[in-house]
Structure 1
Amino acid sequence: MHIARRSPDPSAHVQAPADARRQAHVPAVAALAGAVALLAGVAGCSSGSGGGGSEALKSLRHMPAGAAAKAVTYVDTARARELGTTDPKRFSLIGNPASAVLGSYTAGPWADTMKQDQIDAAVDSGQLGHWDGRFDPAAIEASLRKSGYTADEQDGEQVWKPSDGSGPVFVIAKDQIRYSTEAKGFSPTDPAHGKSLADTKEYQVVAGCMGDVYRADFNTLATGKPVLLSGLGQQADDSGKNTEILCAAVKDEATADKLAEKLRGVITKQNERYAGAEVTVTKGDHPVVRTTVPDTSAQRPGRLYMSDVQLWMAVGDM
């Protein structure tokens, strides 16, 4: 297969993955996405290309630059499953891919030939997505045929489309699946070098700010605004101790200082809720504000966009 290798509810972030893909999500995740979408209206670091950096940044090479108009979510689902063994309830939502074609009330066109736990990493944006994992193409494609799908060749790949045009389209391989909820404009292969989100400076900055995370939620790109791009990352050690990392790439150093002051003010006023939180500023050509918030064992990862949203609101109010 010609798709580049390797690459993800909360819809984590201020506007996070709440758009079209949420329409088919399981009830709990759909509710979570709705909460995130409400925040959307209010609303150091890597300089390398998509070939290096964190796994979150690497996953963005599967997303065309145009996906910046939607929120994007990366999830290392294999790592999230490992963390779930420490506390299944706490990590039950945070580890789900943010995809419109998973977790719906009705089975997908693959029926029982593909399970969500076969996905090891996922990156999803609006109607687009790419999953890495362990799949059985023959079984999945046979199920697609039974569901009325046919295959056409496009750019050297077999693209599976519903005969009536009413469902998502897929490219299936044993180690990855690429999909879109709309056939129009779908590309069965990764964007050309220099044309993916991984090649976009703001995503490089925010992904670099987050560091090594098992989940990263990126807001929509807002070129020309004080906050160019914001994102929320999740880090956890093997014991399940989780830290949330809120990053905001801003237009200039003055904006960075102003945002940092606002965030510190929120933390001071609500020091019990945000106990242990720290705000740092990295200046230079691409300033970024980084806020780290440790979660206690009683707090569910992703709370910064699910319940304790005041820091997100401060970013959105800039």
Structure 2
Amino acid sequence: MRNSAGVLGTLVLAGVLAAGTTGCSSGDGVDDSGGSAGSGLTRALSTLPASAGDETITYIDVPTARKLYAKDRKQYMVLSGYGIQERTQLGYTGGSLKDGWGFDDKDVDTSLMVGDGSSLLSGKFDTEAVRRAMTKHGYTAAEGDGGVSLRKSGSVAVDVSDTVRVTHRSKSPKLPLTAPDRTPADDKAYTAVSACMGDVYEATFYGKRKQGGGVVLSGIGGRLAGDGTSSEKLCALTSSRNAAERTAKALRKETGPGKAYAGTKVTVGEGDTPLVTMSWKNSRESSHRPMANNQTFTLLHALIR
């Protein structure tokens, strides 16, 4: 996935949100329907602490991902884990998610992965089933703040309630079972990039930083058109118009003849801190599958040059 632990987690994009307006212009040859930031993505971001906004965040609408993967496994193969770490692991080792961990991917509505492998799953969970399954793995269960805490020395910490299951890794922000007071959804940069991406079934944000730079926050989101075709949209919020032009120039180098994004239009929006955008159709080709690492590496490098 685009935020898998390791290299991609370090590809954060730097910047300071300058004063002024932002704009998002379409005209890139891909269906730009799909609404504002008042979508499942924003609701999901509202479950995370504000500190998560400095990390790479990946969001997946799990029921939609399950349907797409069932429809075309080759095109949507990267979605097969649905953002559920335990399911991804079972893909290599076999076994039952329900038997091993006390829940199934059908119990999950949305998944969020944050930073170095922490995750937050929203849905409906049988806390007793999770407790029983995880105690078989050597975890010790205790009543926690709003749910059950499961701990095992040297292993990832897990908390679960009737509606949320979170895992914690030491290098990532601690994720809560209940919505915090301040979240990335309250951040103007996240609001702008979310609205630009529109109604998405999967998205990755590459982390907001404070040390200055041309790109404040960048994200890539997957959208579905009315005919069921899938596309990706990149939205990069910049700190100035000059920074936007530099960013667009770097991205356009990846759209020339022979490049994976040949012929793709890069657009600079309106305002003093414009959004730079580009969109492309997904296909069964390895370089154009949703959330494929080899699809987005070149774009991320272009944005941080």
Q: TM-score range by the shorter chain?
A: 0.7 to 0.9
**Equivalent-residue separation in structure 2 for 1:102 and 1:251 (angstroms):** 39
Is the 1:227–1:248 Cα contact (8 Å) retained in structure 2?
Answer: yes
Which structure 2 residues correspond to residues 136-215 of structure 1 after superposition, within 5 A? Answer: 136-162=126-152, 165-182=153-170, 186=174, 188-193=176-181, 195-215=182-202
TM-score (norm: length of structure 2)? 0.77
* One-letter amino acid of the counterpart of residue 264, structure 2: A
* One-letter amino acid of the counterpart of residue 203, structure 2: A
The Cα shift of 1:260 comes to 1.7
**Equivalent-residue separation in structure 2 for 1:184 and 1:42 (angstroms):** 17
2:234 paired residue among 212, 231, 246: 246
**Equivalent-residue separation in structure 2 for 1:243 and 1:113 (angstroms):** 34
The Cα shift of 1:79 comes to 0.4
1:229 paired residue among 192, 213, 217: 217
Is the 2:107–2:124 Cα contact (8 Å) retained in structure 1?
Answer: yes
1:259-300 CA-partner distances (Å, limit 9, x unpaired):
1233234323446x3255222222325421111112345454
Please, which runs of 5 or more residues in structure 2 have no aligned partner?
Answer: 15-22, 25-36
| Greater mean deviation of Cα atoms: 228-237 or 301-310 | 301-310
Shift in alpha-carbon separation, 1:174–1:185, aligned structure 2, 3 A: same
Is the 1:110–1:144 Cα contact (8 Å) retained in structure 2?
Answer: no
**Residue in 1 aligned with 2:261?**
274
Which structure 2 residues correspond to residues 256-267 of structure 1 after superposition, within 5 A? Answer: 256-267=244-255
**Equivalent-residue separation in structure 2 for 1:217 and 1:119 (angstroms):** 19
**Equivalent-residue separation in structure 2 for 1:37 and 1:116 (angstroms):** 24
**Residue in 1 aligned with 2:119?**
129
1:47-97 CA-partner distances (Å, limit 9, x unpaired):
xxxxx6222222112221222342110011210111123211211213534
Matched, 1:111 2:90: no
Shift in alpha-carbon separation, 1:231–1:82, aligned structure 2, 3 A: same
**Equivalent-residue separation in structure 2 for 1:68 and 1:183 (angstroms):** 14
Poorly superposed stretches of 4+, deviation over 6 Å: 106-110
Instruction: Indicate the structure whose relative CO is greater, using CA pairs within 8 Å and at least 6 residues apart.
Output: 2
**Equivalent-residue separation in structure 1 for 2:53 and 2:269 (angstroms):** 23
1:108-132 CA-partner distances (Å, limit 9, x unpaired):
8961532334322101103432112
**Equivalent-residue separation in structure 2 for 1:185 and 1:268 (angstroms):** 39
Q: What's the C-alpha RMSD, in Å, of the aligned pairs?
A: 3.2
Shift in alpha-carbon separation, 1:95–1:121, aligned structure 2, 3 A: farther
**Equivalent-residue separation in structure 1 for 2:263 and 2:109 (angstroms):** 32
* One-letter amino acid of the counterpart of residue 157, structure 1: G
User: Secondary structure of the equivalent of 2:256?
Assistant: helix
* One-letter amino acid of the counterpart of residue 138, structure 2: G
1:116-167 CA-partner distances (Å, limit 9, x unpaired):
34322101103432112343222111222333333334434332222xx322
Matched, 1:83 2:68: yes
Report sequence identity in percent: 27
User: Secondary structure of the equivalent of 1:79?
Assistant: helix
Shift in alpha-carbon separation, 1:171–1:42, aligned structure 2, 3 A: closer
**Equivalent-residue separation in structure 1 for 2:98 and 2:139 (angstroms):** 9
* One-letter amino acid of the counterpart of residue 66, structure 1: S
* One-letter amino acid of the counterpart of residue 148, structure 2: Q
**Equivalent-residue separation in structure 2 for 1:156 and 1:315 (angstroms):** 41
Task: Give the total of aligned pairs.
Answer: 278
**Equivalent-residue separation in structure 2 for 1:308 and 1:181 (angstroms):** 25
1:288 paired residue among 275, 299, 304: 275
| Greater mean deviation of Cα atoms: 61-70 or 223-232 | 61-70
Is the 2:75–2:290 Cα contact (8 Å) retained in structure 1?
Answer: no
**Residue in 2 aligned with 1:218?**
205
Please, which runs of 5 or more residues in structure 1 have no aligned partner?
Answer: 1-9, 20-33, 46-51
